[in-house]
Structure 1
């Protein structure tokens, strides 16, 4: 990840590939898991044959496999073969139809996509770049007619724009940006709201949908909650501290029970340049977040992205954004009560007492898992009454213990170390510096927590931990058990009493990812998982209406794993627990985001992000991929069209539920 905008910037910004910005001595999840597994590694779950052959007899392994076969997987489909090529692949008996591509019209008056003559004005009416989170908000309760909501995380200039790449000594160099290109990039960020309808078994975009909308890095937004109006979010352009221009790096997200769209701001540090004035009060705050990273050159044209000119502007990013999809003219709201960090997403569930619980991951090496519990309760018959629920509540951070327990610690001003003596004069300070507040509470340092998904069917919560190659041997703990953790793992939480608002609970490692055939990897897929079924780098996930877990991945590169990313079905119950099957795989260079299932389980929407990137990692192509020389031209496969990120709708041939 370059600090110089003119150099080739790949998708590494989203990976936070540095050592992390957590300076504390808080215990790491790896240390906690290692201790726990050393005590009870064979008491629960299933481990890879390579990891247990020395202590478990072959007869015991055969017995376990027979029991698993009798129990059976919750998923019935013919598994896709893992591999690498230019196209996408889905399980036999299913269709995977491209629904929306970068540049497709979203608004009725949008021009046709012309990649060689792009403008910001056109892009602001067209589907944005690098689609990540995908959500579906039914219209009149329908599973076949609704609003598709999609985040656009970031841009890859080398894949987007013609004529800006040169090759020097086998490396790609991207020409310095001008304001026109920056404006197009800003318009390609943000989110899309678009009406879709299923007609004769196939999904279609309703181009003239009255609720269709594009949200961009130039859309005016409102700060709400405890931080709104605070001095630390006031700027020259906004003396009130309540109005913000734009949202950036919207990774995963969510849909609330009351039907609003949640956009999570993740790696916002990459958009800022400049230096703070000497001795500025925000210096430590920004260092903890890696600000400024300087991956984008926007600050050369817009003062708000240059911290030497607008030193408070970064405090206005890193929030959860809520969008009222029923009012296309409404200002999206940055809900500050949910804390400020590198948000991956915000999936929610209604608890037994009617309060709503949001689970949040801070996607950086050695950072934390959070949840937010609303103060008010959800009213299913009064949407208007729910529209301010995210402005009041309690934010918690997780601490995991070696005995398999965990606790949620409240991030509340005046409690414990969160006092003026430690630089927190108000709840606004706690929320602006959520990471530092969590540091002081002794939260457990994790291996890149991404999606955190509650399961309303079995009452569990699943935490995707993508990887952490920077974790040293002395930093492993019970919940992050591997040093140089290249493949990541998944943790399963059980809140006490099945109550999602509980202050404590129990945890298990559902999976340690990677190839179970390589003993030193230490993967723990069940022995019923085929060579196609294992995966690394879990990122996003979904729980379908039947309560089954689906996992999408980011980082299964040709060089590292010999396969592309994709969507895997993962058993979490019974004898088949920890069995995984490959359902869909992406074209070379892409990662898979989303995923999302409609309420009838008859459609899975997935987002294919940055296809064609990193061509040098694929032996068949063997060189960097860029606009004029692409490793794939998915999904159009036309000489006059570049590679295009897109949302894909997966349905069963002839109709019916998926994987049953």
Structure 2
């Protein structure tokens, strides 16, 4: 089945959009749809309610304080920028030592062994885990940081563009492998801000090069995970392309393996996994040169190796000797996020997206129940449960379709001989069940105050007018949008995230509201600085206010709009009034927003500053701005100068 065959069409879109979008407007203070006549071509245009009527329509009140910070003006510069009254401090950067007795970082002298003792590249997800374990400490803890990918031409002198992968040496390839994965580093806040605790026993690199992970759950030990190097199908070297993630209620990290396809060379045609690899985008078009040196990176020689990646991986940051676990029950695809919530009955729900155009939104519900104050009792919870995929219906409901072997079309006749096959090919299983293809579902987070679920849909310029549907209402969606899912049962902790059916609505349609053809939808008072594009990662503060990180890729330079952090209320009269708070330096991406428990520090990831340029001629030298130092991906701590909570 081709991608075009999988894409849903919606012939009654005009009627659906007019009713769905205006209903929430009346209830939540959003502006109303202009009517079906304005929805030509599947791109909606919206009329704003006048200010007084807008406020009167805000039926859902909020006790959250107003976002009182002075909005940042949009401009692209070589350095980071933050709203007035705040300061942004670099805490740790690529190459920083994690252990005592190490020399100062010199990228020209970097070896694979050294890289495994230093902070990795392109930091994405951040999880702040307080110390001591189980506490709510906000000035001492562990930063658990993903390293998504490497920019070869920015790491090594003399390389540029497409040719970089063909020119690197074996040693340089190993450095790149070592720079992938995850870092755990102890940090403390003092009078001068945040600092790394040198030579902490917790400091640890988990790399693609050498860290052994264990496969658990239904695919563990299956023939499709076995290789010449690992005939058990259970011992997997490394974790790869770690993008967003999550934290479990028992104090572990979930790191999401995303775009694994770009690392594998070799022609999959003629191998038993040809169809499976094509569905994951493995087509002998690697973006890295690793397959030149390592047999496991060549699918014609090791066709099962890619099946060992594309999972959610659980890491215990408090136990430096622990083995990362690839939890196969949660399915294999291009994971983004691993957000957990404890339900009223004690079961745990994990939300995750599949970050590619026309892919799906997933949910996993554990079979067992969470045991408070007993970490050991919860360590196997993610190995048994039900994985489901979302179908969004035009009537405002979202149904969770269980991906269970033997149910519906998930049978041997369709190539699913066991649950292992279902989770290994979760994408194909989902399309057979009729899941809704989405506009790049990235981060998925639950609001701790209202209990609703928010889905970042980054963009999809390949969606045609005849392929729009109620949950993805724009063709050529270059700006993305945010969905809001409401589980039954009540707000906050009363919400039942195990239910078969939820309600859904659109929080906002991103883009420039001054351009009618874009079809953007926000609060009417959004400013020229406040509108956003390409929502990617997100988080909530203690008041339930949404903080959004953006990833426009090369479009930020074309639009003259830097990526960064935006904040908004999700209830009350200022619902969807987005405000610009922080801007990344030139050619960087914004990732990983994470608050400390007291809400007084916001950690963010500045990923790939200078992307598109080279080590020898970078477009920025953030954050050190020294002539002998390339741009360094970095974790930044944002605090308020008066010591108060972020956002006001």
Are the equivalent residues in 2 in contact too, given 1:21–1:288 (CA < 8 A)?
no
Aligned to 1:536: 533
Residue ranges of structure 1 left out of the alignment (5+ in a row): 1-19, 615-624
Q: How does 1:288-299 map to 2 (within 5 A)?
A: 288-292=279-283, 293-299=285-291
Distance 1:515 1:343, change over 3 A: same
Deviations 1:16-64 (A, max 9, x none): xxxx973543526x87865521334433236679968999999951423
Paired residue for 2:203?
212
Give the corresponding residue for 1:593: 591
Contact 1:32 1:479 (C-alpha < 8 Å) held by counterparts? no
The answer to whether the Cα contact below 8 Å between 1:267 and 1:342 also exists between their aligned partners in 2 is yes
The Cα offsets for residues 406-433 of structure 1, whole Å up to 9 and x where unpaired, read as 1101101111111111111110010001
> How far apart are the structure 1 equivalents of 2:48 and 2:262?
54
Provide closer, same or farther for how the CA distance between residues 172 and 85 of structure 1 changes in structure 2, counting only shifts above 3 A: farther
Q: 2:604 aligns with which of 603, 606, 613?
A: 606
Q: 1:584 to 1:604 in 2, by over 3 A?
A: same
Which residue number in structure 2 is paired with residue 524 of structure 1? 521
Cα separation, partners in 2 of 1:277 and 1:74, compared to 1, 3 Å: same
Tell me, yes or no, if structure 1 residue 482 matches structure 2 residue 479: no
Note closer, same or farther for the CA distance 1:299–1:530 as it changes in structure 2 (3 Å cut): same
SS at match of 1:44: helix
- Superposed CA deviations along residues 328-366 of structure 1, whole A, max 9, x for unmatched, are 122211110000000011011111111111100000000
The structure 1 residue matched to 2:384, chosen from 389, 392, 397, is 392
Is residue 2:179 matched to residue 1:188?
yes
> Where in structure 2 are the equivalents of 1:115-130 lying within 5 Å?
115-130=107-122
How many residue pairs end up in the alignment? 625
Name the SS for the 2:539 alignment partner. Answer: strand
Deviates more, 1:55-64 or 1:568-577: 55-64
Q: Which moved more, 1:198-207 or 1:263-272?
A: 198-207
Superposed CA deviations along residues 594-636 of structure 1, whole A, max 9, x for unmatched, are 100111101000000011123xxxxxxxxxx211112111111
1:314 and 2:306 aligned: yes
2: CA distance, partners of 1:612 / 1:54:
44
Deviations 1:132-174 (A, max 9, x none): 00001111211211110000000001111112238xxxx9866
What is the TM-score with the length of structure 1 in the denominator? 0.91
Match of 2:42 in 1: none
**Is the CA contact 1:566–1:586 (under 8 Å) kept in the aligned structure 2?**
yes
Residues 458-504 of structure 1, C-alpha deviation per residue, up to 9 Å, x if partnerless? 01000000000000111000000100000000000001222111111
Q: Paired residue for 2:147? A: 152
2:432 to 437, 440, 445: 440
Equivalent positions of 1:535-614 (< 5 A) are 535-555=532-552, 557-614=555-612
Conserved? CA contact 2:188–2:195, under 8 Å: yes
**How far apart, in 1, do the equivalents of 2:99 and 2:236 lie?**
24
The 1:68/1:649 distance shift into structure 2, 3 A limit, reads: farther
8 Å CA contact 1:360–1:452 kept in 2: the answer is: yes
1:175 CA displacement: 5.3
Counterpart Cα distance in 1 of 2:48 and 2:433 = 47
> 1:653: which partner in 2?
641
Using a 3 Å threshold, how does the CA distance of structure 1 residues 77 and 67 change in structure 2: closer, same or farther? farther
Cα distance in 1 for partners of 2:408, 2:181 equals 37
Match status 1:233 vs 2:225:
yes
Q: Name the structure 2 match of 1:246.
A: 238
For structure 2, the 5+ residue unaligned runs are 39-44, 490-494
1:502 is aligned to 499
The CA deviation string for residues 204-229 of structure 1, in whole angstroms up to 9 with x for no partner, is: 11011111100111211111111011
Tell me, what secondary structure is at the counterpart of 1:605? Answer: strand
Post-superposition CA distance 1:182-205 (Å, at most 9, x none): 011001100100011111261111
Aligned residue in 2 for 1:4:
none
- The answer as to whether partners of 2:13 and 2:468 remain within 8 angstroms in 1 is yes
The structural deviation recorded for 1:380 is: 1.4
**Equivalent of 1:163 in 158, 163, 168:** 158
> Among 178, 186, 201, which residue is 2:169 paired with?
178
> Cα deviations across residues 508-541 of structure 1 (Å, max 9, x unaligned)?
0001000000000000011111110000000000
1:548 is displaced (CA, Å) by 1.2
Residue in 2 that maps onto 1:44: 24
| Residues 292-328 of structure 1: per-residue CA shift (max 9 Å, x gap) | 4411111111111111111111111100111111221
Q: Classify the secondary structure of the residue corresponding to 1:572.
A: coil
Distance verdict in 2 for CA 1:40–1:452, change over 3 Å = closer
264 and 58 in structure 1: CA distance in 2 versus 1, 3 angstrom threshold: closer
